[in-house]
Amino acid sequence: MSHYSETKEKEIVQHIFRCHLDIIILRIIQEKDAWGYRIMKMVEEEHGIKLRHSSLYPLLNSLERDGLLRSRKWKMNGRMRKIYKITSKGKKLVEAYWKSFQELLGSQEQ
């Protein structure tokens, strides 16, 4: 029975993660400006999920197009990196998301 619950828990976490990847990435960048590889490593360390380039970069581009992130080129250790920074619009979205999520969870407890 224990194995079943661990498997189910992992499935639930992965489902939540996939559905809310944009918010998770915005939260990571909100804590500290980051480039793609760093974001992938943070997601893996914090959530135990490996992101592929083919998933991450289209999402970062979409978030930037929507005005939730902005980027700049930065030379680090002889390499050019695209550093992402959350915008005020992105911060507002994250705050609204967490507020709504907490209210939803709170209404479930009653």
How confident is the prediction along the chain (110 residues), in pLDDT tens digits per residue?
Answer: 456 677 787 777 777 777 788 999 999 999 999 999 999 999 999 888 888 999 899 999 999 999 999 999 999 889 899 999 999 999 999 999 989 888 888 865 54
Q: Could you tell me the end-to-end alpha-carbon distance of the chain, in angstroms, rounded to an integer?
A: 29
- Its pTM stands at 0.79
Quick one: pLDDT at residue 2? 53
Q: Which domains are seen in the chain, by residue range? A: 2-109 (1.10.10.10)
Distance separating alpha carbons of residues 5 and 10, to the nearest angstrom: 8
> Of 83, 87, 81, 32, which is closest to residue 65 (Cα–Cα)?
87
